[in-house]
Amino acid sequence: MTKLTHLTMADALAGLAAKEFTAVELTQAHLDAMAATKELNAYIIETPDAALKQAADADARYAKGGQRALDGLPLGIKDLFCTEGVQTTAASHILDGFVPPYESTVTTQLFRDGAVMLGKLNLDEFAMGSANITSHYGPVISPWSPKDAAGNFTRKLVPGGSSGGSAAAVAARLALGATGTDTGGSIRQPASFVGIVGIKPTYGRCSRWGIVAFASSLDQAGPMTRTVKDAALMLRSMAGYDPKDSTSIDVPVPDYAAALTGDIRGLRVGIPKEYRVDGMPAEIERLWQQGIEWLKAAGATPVEISLPHTKYALPAYYIVAPAEASSNLARYDGVRFGLRVEGKDLKEMYENTRAEGFGAEVKRRIMIGTYVLSAGYYDAYYLKAQKVRARIAEDFTKAYEQCDVILTPTAPSAAFGIGEKMDDPIAMYLNDVFTVPANLAGLPGLSVPAGLSGEGLPLGLQVLGRPFDEATVLKVGHVIEQAAGPQPLPPLVS
């Protein structure tokens, strides 16, 4: 029999319903796996007692035959979601000791549907990063990192970021699925780096209420899972209108799993020519071509499209996102929650608290944001970036007159080692070159494992869709998943 930790969410639900194992056994198997893999640093805090209690409640419901959509499924929660009574850090020193007295809407809905929380997952500080190396709690190590015969790492690979703990945990079988958030690629890029599925839904699809804010016009929550079907199941629970988020959209949430028919005949797949960036590795280009061939074989029609402002997406993002972050992070002042470092007066207390509480990357972004919003520079930088953002969104609107979905690589490379790409912030930012446009335009985007690099590391393909058409995005992702076939396990997983 398959190890309990290796089951898909769909198979685990079937096994629980058939009484092949209990939710407590399923949860305990994950807690044991977590205890044995602390070296990955995937979890910031584990909540075994609460998890076993939730699992026992699920078992009671199964016994009565009244189970819920995700009943008894052990999940990891990115530590950016506020969880009532459980420390929430955003991987920042400045949130030391913060215990939310409320529950985020997304986790409330997951628990409503019976999900079990194993713990809170590591991430880049305030979700700012693409390698999970900016966490106050230390970097997350990818389960794809190679080891020597003595069991020591010969190279520590990053799991991507910012949802690096979520990605590592799902790939390493330390959770059946996990929540992520995606502001510029933070679900899709790590999913690609560790060989799992991740979807950033349309902006407004999942409530942002109770998620620690980074850049409010870009942030969106989504599931990270090992199969497209699991992403469909989990997204259905996470999504939905919430009056507590003024940008949440009141549209029905479809049964995404029912959309996975495999039938994409006649679908027009846009291939944006501007995504053939200079210096893109040949293996990424080959993977992309392979993806096009798979979709063609399934009856879809590739269409070359143009998204002329693609190269301006990253610089526009690096004005808009820091600007919003500088405003959102103004709340961390040592008064209402988290760290306080005393000073001789109120102003110095603010300055000391923020100097000690924020890490280098967060400070850099707050300062960029403060600068582009300051008197004399607002029009030249912030307003200009918002206008460029409008042109990027317009590119997609025009493209969707010619196609139904868009296929691109998820990231311009496979995972790299911890310590690489650290000197130049822009080299790190380039990780998100293919994912950022969907955030600027608010569109849904999925990363699905499609093969391995020459070094044997996972590579993902990205499917972008029309607003609120996650169903088609998932359907196309499912076809790629089926065509790519079973993918190998990370070397650290047995």
Partner 1 sequence: MSLDKATVAKIAHLARIKVPDSDLEQLAGELSTIMTWVEMLGEVDTQGIEPMTSVVAANLRRRPDAVTDGGYPEKVVANATDATENFFSVPKVVE
Tokens representing residue 444 in the block: 């849904």
Select which of 104, 142, 162, 166 is catalytic. 162
Q: Which is nearer to partner 1, 217 or 453 (CB)?
A: 217
Select which of 130, 135, 186, 447 is catalytic. 186
Q: Which is nearer to partner 1, 298 or 390 (CB)?
A: 390
Q: Which stretch binds partner 1 (CB under 8 A): 24-32, 259-267, 274-282, 344-352?
A: 344-352
Q: Which is nearer to partner 1, 14 or 367 (CB)?
A: 367
Q: Which stretch binds partner 1 (CB under 8 A): 48-56, 112-120, 308-316, 405-413?
A: 308-316
Q: Is 166 a catalytic residue?
A: no
Q: Is residue 425 involved in binding partner 1 (CB under 8 A)?
A: yes
Binding mask 78-107 for partner 1 (x = CB under 8 A): -------------------xxx-x------
Q: Is residue 200 involved in binding partner 1 (CB under 8 A)?
A: no
Q: Is residue 274 involved in binding partner 1 (CB under 8 A)?
A: no
* Secondary structure in 3-state letters for the chain: CCCHHHCCHHHHHHHHHCCCCCHHHHHHHHHHHHHHCHHHCCEEEECHHHHHHHHHHHHHHHHHCCCCCCCCCEEEEECCECECCECCCCCCHHHCCCCCCCCCHHHHHHHHCCCEEEEEECCCHHHCCCCCCCCCCCCCCCCCCCECCCCCECCCECCCCCCHHHHHHHHCCCCCEEEEEECCCCCHHHHHHHCCEEEECCCCCECCCCECCCCCCCCEEEEEECCHHHHHHHHHHHECCCCCCCCCCCCCCCCHHHHCCCCCCCCEEEEEHHHCCCCCCHHHHHHHHHHHHHHHHCCCEEEEECCCCHHHHHHHHHHHHHHHHHHHHHHCCCCCCCCCCCCCCHHHHHHHHHHHHCCHHHHHHHHHHHHHHCCCCHHHHHHHHHHHHHHHHHHHHHHCCCCCEEEEECCCCCCCECCCCCCCHHHHHHHHCCCHHHHHHCCCEEEEEEEECCCCCEEEEEEEECCCCHHHHHHHHHHHHHHHCCCCCCCCCC
Q: Which is nearer to partner 1, 159 or 204 (CB)?
A: 204
**Cβ–Cβ under 8 Å, residues 205 and 220:** yes
Total number of residues that touch partner 1 (CB under 8 A): 65
The b/e string for 341-354 (b: 16+ C-beta within 10 A; e otherwise) is: beeeeeeebbebbb
Q: Is residue 417 involved in binding partner 1 (CB under 8 A)?
A: no
Q: Is 53 a catalytic residue?
A: no
Binding mask 102-141 for partner 1 (x = CB under 8 A): ----------------------------------------
From candidates 164, 442, 458, 460, binder to partner 1 by CB under 8 A: 442
Degrees, nearest 5: CA angle 317-322-325 = 125
Q: Is residue 400 involved in binding partner 1 (CB under 8 A)?
A: no
Cα–Cα distances in Å, from 457 out to 191, 414, 416, 460?
A: 12, 6, 10, 10
Q: Which is nearer to partner 1, 72 or 437 (CB)?
A: 437
Q: Which is nearer to partner 1, 302 or 315 (CB)?
A: 315
Q: Is residue 335 involved in binding partner 1 (CB under 8 A)?
A: yes
How far apart are CB 255 and partner 1 at their closest, in Å?
24
Q: Which is nearer to partner 1, 401 or 424 (CB)?
A: 424
Binding mask 236-265 for partner 1 (x = CB under 8 A): -------x--xx-x----------------
Q: Which is nearer to partner 1, 209 or 294 (CB)?
A: 209
Q: Is 78 a catalytic residue?
A: yes
How far apart are CB 473 and partner 1 at their closest, in Å?
17
Inter-axis angle of helices 282-297 and 470-484, nearest 10: 100
From candidates 350, 400, 416, 434, binder to partner 1 by CB under 8 A: 350
How far apart are CB 88 and partner 1 at their closest, in Å?
10
From candidates 43, 81, 137, 381, binder to partner 1 by CB under 8 A: 381
**Binding to partner 1, residues 358-377 (CB under 8 A):** 358, 363-364, 366-368, 370-371, 374
Q: Which is nearer to partner 1, 5 or 202 (CB)?
A: 202
| Residues lying near partner 1 in the complex (CB under 8 A) | 97-99, 101, 203-204, 217, 243, 246-247, 249, 309, 311-312, 315-316, 318-319, 326, 330, 333-338, 340, 342-352, 354-355, 358, 363-364, 366-368, 370-371, 374, 381, 383-391, 393, 424-426, 441-442
Catalytic (active-site) positions: 78, 162, 186
